[in-house]
Amino acid sequence: MISDINNILLIKYLRNELSEPEQESVLRWLGDKEENKEFLFGLKEAYLLSRWEELSTRSQAAEGWKNMNERIGQSTEQLKSPRLRKVMQYAAAAVVIFMIGFGLHDQISTEKIVYNTVETSTGEQSTLFLNDGTKVKLNENSKLIYPTGFNSSSRNVTLHGEAYFEVTHDTHKPFLVNIGTYTVKVLGTKFNIDAYPEQVYVYTSLKEGKIQVVENTPESKIVSELKPGTQLSYNKRTGEYFVKEVDTDQVTDWMNGRMVIKRQTLEEVVQRLEQKYHYTINIQNLQLNKLSYNITIDKESLEEILSNIHFITPQVHYSINNKDKMVILK
């Protein structure tokens, strides 16, 4: 029975002040009945809960995260090294330009805006200069829609995917990048937007200058203003966002011709590797398809990449047949 034990002993137990013989008697009491355990441990939870404020401070989560972040970084770093001499050469991006004309039905305006679309496929990148001097570097599988000439009040472009912008300064004409989720508003700066449609999070990172991220609503409410060296991560599903410091050089790693695979499944990674190394790669265990990876490939051999994949996901085993240019993953 609960009344068989002294309250004082219970309190001492909770506060870890039991002497050895007292400990023994609490143990004996606990062994008597299952309900005694329910009671005492329930009490203990209540006691811990009551200390929540103190404990949650003492846990030093921020410090713990810093340490964790480094450890995670190291395990992905494995994939990047060894970084060898020169970066691989990209085939010149075959850029497809569509000319799409839109006649404006506005009676007053006689301005007719013609839009261009630049689209890159897997493995392609493209650099383009807009007629205001702004430079845009488009990553693979991305699309930029922009007018051939900007109108008098603003400069509007639409982006799907990832691009790095160096916007020519013009105080009177803000440069607006609409990514569907939100719009990035700038006067003149350097920044990177990573907004592939399949991602839950979209990222805007600022290298120089100042930008505003504004809602795609008629009120154009400002979500956030970024300072150089920071990144806004925005969750498209929940609308939650946060800003943190980043290494913007790392964010724009993809521009240096390295093959950067971000958050892709093994199935997708395999397609990329097949294109790059001209091997046929078969995944024999379908369960592996869903594994996801971040990989930066500089000049590593296929075998190095495979061994790194095995390192981070030991369940993936590989065998290479160099004669027939075949790889089997299982």
Partner 1 sequence: MKNEDENIYKAIRKGDVFAFERFYMKYQPRLFAYGMGILNDEEAAKDLIQESFMAFWEHKNNIVTDYSVTSYLFKIFHGQCIKYLRTRAIQSNFSQLSELKMQEIEMGFYNPDRKVFGSIFMYEVEELYEKAVIKLPEQCREIFILSKQQDMKSSEIASKLGISVRTVENQIYKAIRVIRQEMKDYA
Chain positions contacting partner 1, by CB under 8 A: 7-8, 10-11, 14, 16, 20, 23-24, 26-27, 30, 37, 41-56, 58-62, 64-65, 67-69, 71-72, 75, 199-201, 233, 235, 237-238, 242, 244, 262-263, 290-294, 312-313, 315
Least CB distance to partner 1 at residue 309 (A): 12
Return the number of the residue (105 or 290) whose C-beta is nearest partner 1: 290
Angle at which helices 7-14 and 20-32 cross, to 10°: 110
Return the number of the residue (45 or 303) whose C-beta is nearest partner 1: 45
In DSSP notation, 194-260 reads EE-TT-SEEEEEEEES-EEEEESSTT--EEEEEPTTEEEEEETTT--EEEEE--HHHHTGGGGT-EE
3-class DSSP state of 92? coil
Kind of pairing between the strands at 96-101 and 126-129: unpaired
Compute the distance between CA of residue 272 and CA of residue 266 in angstroms, rounded to an integer: 10
Return the number of the residue (148 or 315) whose C-beta is nearest partner 1: 315
Distances (CA, A) of 160 to 45, 248, 255, 268, 300: 50, 20, 17, 19, 30
DSSP state of 133: S
Return the number of the residue (23 or 131) whose C-beta is nearest partner 1: 23
**Of 105, 144, 110, 113, the residue nearest 128 (C-alpha):** 144
Least CB distance to partner 1 at residue 19 (A): 10
Compute the distance between CA of residue 330 and CA of residue 326 in angstroms, rounded to an integer: 13
Least CB distance to partner 1 at residue 318 (A): 17
**Of 71, 2, 77, 79, the residue nearest 41 (C-alpha):** 2
Least CB distance to partner 1 at residue 68 (A): 6
Least CB distance to partner 1 at residue 161 (A): 16
Least CB distance to partner 1 at residue 4 (A): 15
Return the number of the residue (310 or 325) whose C-beta is nearest partner 1: 310
Return the number of the residue (173 or 262) whose C-beta is nearest partner 1: 262
